[in-house]
Structure 1
Amino acid sequence: MAVLPPLATVADLATRLNRTFTPEQELQVQALLDDASSAVRSFTRQDITRATTTETLTMRRADPVLHRCAGIVTLPQRPVIDIEAVAINGTASSDWWQDGQDLLLRAWSWDGPPAANRPPQVSVTYTHGWDPVPGEIKAVVLQAANRMLVNPAQVRSETVGGESVTYLIPTTGEALGVLLSRTEERVLKRYRGPGAASMQVRSR
């Protein structure tokens, strides 16, 4: 799988902070942006950046009245820009249509016993994601990276005179990398995709 690019650049953060980074600082900032981008992608379960991928998903039975088709799969990455190829159990198919994140397959003979418990596997090559990255996602990445830049120990509160220091990570004070705040998670919720539990194979 190809390495995904960061969702914001060093230049973006330099512009936001109205400052210039030294070469050493640029390396640090880049690492923080990579970590913040990973945190955002982990929370949303989305690549976010525009890409073309192949997913192999398990077909589920559709409601014949509601969907008027034999089966359906939900593509996990959004938004779906274009579907380039579909194959069912290794056989190319053009007998399908798209409805948002769902791919509906018009006709397919489901196996009878003893293979009845093995639903068809649908391989889909499709283009998805945003170009450019939405501004509020970029803002979350920049904010999270900058928070780690100015407060690498992730200290939430600190008092003088022998009082204990309070950290974002309780008990140990061990930093786990870039963390998202609750406010940032609320911003990102609208970009969250369906769970990837049904996805079995993925390639770029």
Structure 2
Amino acid sequence: MAYATADELAVLLGRGDDPFSEAETTKANLLLAIATGDMDRELGQSLTLSESTAELDGTGTPVLLLPRWPVTAVASVSVIDDLDEAAEDLVADTDYRWSRYGKLRRLRSCWPCIERAVEVTYTAGWDPIPDDIKGMCLRLAQAGWSNFAGAESERLGDWSVKWHVPGMNLSTSDLATLGFYRART
């Protein structure tokens, strides 16, 4: 799901009371999906609120970091404490606690130092999408809308066109903003 809507892009483009045609809506949705995909690739995660299941390596410490955040719910946690045993389902607030920032703390014990020892099903993401992220998505889509082919200049006498990479690129400032939302690995 894109971080902004075609209607929001229409407003940004100054369309006002002139709604997008079906073809323009398709183009807008494509540009917004491309922008969202570029942002997600840089972040290493989607910011859309959704449920995920993560298989984590144990660290031998009481705290694990979930890759996606902010965490809004933890549905289940299971752990293998010994390679010869089956996974054990843990109980919230008895065996573990979690924080909005993606910390999963094991109570009265440590996570085993075993690869893929912990399986967590949790809900993480933003709802609504933060304004700075929505604005960045809209700005990228707007750049693609107005100059998707990437023409930098054009001359009519002895016709000439100068091309460059289309404007749908994350700036240094964008990358700094995205750093706050980056997935933890």
What per-residue deviation string (whole Å, max 9, x for no partner) do you get for residues 66-99 of structure 1? xxx3xx3210111111212100032201211225
Please give the alpha-carbon distance, in whole angstroms, between the structure 2 residues aligned to 1:126 and 1:191: 18
For residue 80 of structure 1, what is the aligned residue in structure 2? 71
SS in 2 for 1:158: strand
Q: Which runs of 4+ in 1 moved over 3 A?
A: 159-164
For residue 193 of structure 1, what is the aligned residue in structure 2? 183
For residue 43 of structure 1, what is the aligned residue in structure 2? 42
Please give the alpha-carbon distance, in whole angstroms, between the structure 2 residues aligned to 1:162 and 1:147: 24
CA positional deviation for 1:178: 4.0
- Kindly indicate whether residue 172 of structure 2 is the aligned counterpart of residue 167 of structure 1: no
Please give the alpha-carbon distance, in whole angstroms, between the structure 1 residues aligned to 2:139 and 2:115: 44
CA RMSD of aligned residues (A): 2.4
For residue 29 of structure 1, what is the aligned residue in structure 2? 28
CA positional deviation for 1:120: 5.3
| Aligned pairs, number | 169
In structure 2, list runs of 5 or more residues that go unmatched: 81-86
For residue 179 of structure 1, what is the aligned residue in structure 2? 169
What per-residue deviation string (whole Å, max 9, x for no partner) do you get for residues 29-84 of structure 1? 1111111111111111221111122111111122xxxxxx3xx3210111111212
CA contact (8 A) 1:87 1:93 kept: yes
Please give the alpha-carbon distance, in whole angstroms, between the structure 1 residues aligned to 2:141 and 2:7: 13
CA contact (8 A) 1:46 1:78 kept: no
Please give the alpha-carbon distance, in whole angstroms, between the structure 2 residues aligned to 1:159 and 1:37: 30
Please give the alpha-carbon distance, in whole angstroms, between the structure 1 residues aligned to 2:25 and 2:150: 20
Which of 6, 12, 16 aligns to 1:10? It is 6
Please give the alpha-carbon distance, in whole angstroms, between the structure 2 residues aligned to 1:81 and 1:164: 51
For residue 158 of structure 1, what is the aligned residue in structure 2? 153
What per-residue deviation string (whole Å, max 9, x for no partner) do you get for residues 158-181 of structure 1? 36467772512xxxxxx6x94322
Higher mean alpha-carbon deviation, 93-102 vs 158-167, is at 158-167
TM-score (norm 1): 0.73
The one-letter code sitting in structure 1 at the alignment partner of 2:162 is V
SS in 1 for 2:74: strand
SS in 2 for 1:83: strand
Percent of counterpart pairs with the same letter?
Answer: 25
In structure 1, list runs of 5 or more residues that go unmatched: 63-68, 111-115, 169-174, 196-204
Which of 141, 144, 157 aligns to 2:140? It is 144
